[in-house]
Amino acid sequence: MFSWTKSIGLSGSCNNLSSTDSFDCVHEIQESILFWFITTPLMSTRSAFFAAILSVAAGQRDILSIQQQRLPFQNGTLRDVFISPSGTLKHIQTIRIQDAVGPRSQFDEIRSIIVKSDGSQLLAINDDALFFTVRLEKTLGDEFDVSEAVIYPMRDPDGESIPFLGDSDTDLDGNPRGLTIEGAYPGEGRGELIVSFETRRTLLKYPVGVRSRTSVDIDISELFDECDVGPQALTKMRPNRLLPGYLLMICDEPTNSDPNVYPAFAYDEGVPTRFSVESDGDFFPVDMAGLSNGDVMILFRGPDDTEMRIGFVPSRDLTLAMRRGDTVVPQIILEAAESDGFNIGRQSGLAIREDPDNRVFVYTTSESRSGGRPTLLTAFEWIA
The CATH fold of domain 62-383: Tachylectin-2; Chain A (2.115.10)
Output DSSP code: residue 373.
P
Contact between residue 237 and residue 275 where contact means Cβ atoms under 8 Å apart:
no
Cα–Cα distance between 326 and 130 in angstroms, integer? 36
- pTM higher than 0.95, yes or no? no
pLDDT at 165: 54
Burial class (CB in 10 A: 0-12, 13-18, 19+), 282: middle
Regions of the chain short of the pLDDT cut 70: 1-61, 102-106, 164-174, 200, 369-372
DSSP assignment string, 116-134? BTTSSEEEEEETTTEEEEE
Tens digit of each residue's pLDDT (9 = 90 or more) over 126-163: 888 999 999 999 999 999 999 889 999 999 999 999 98
Contact between residue 310 and residue 297 where contact means Cβ atoms under 8 Å apart:
yes
Contact between residue 352 and residue 297 where contact means Cβ atoms under 8 Å apart:
yes
Cα–Cα distance between 23 and 186 in angstroms, integer? 33
pLDDT at 238: 82
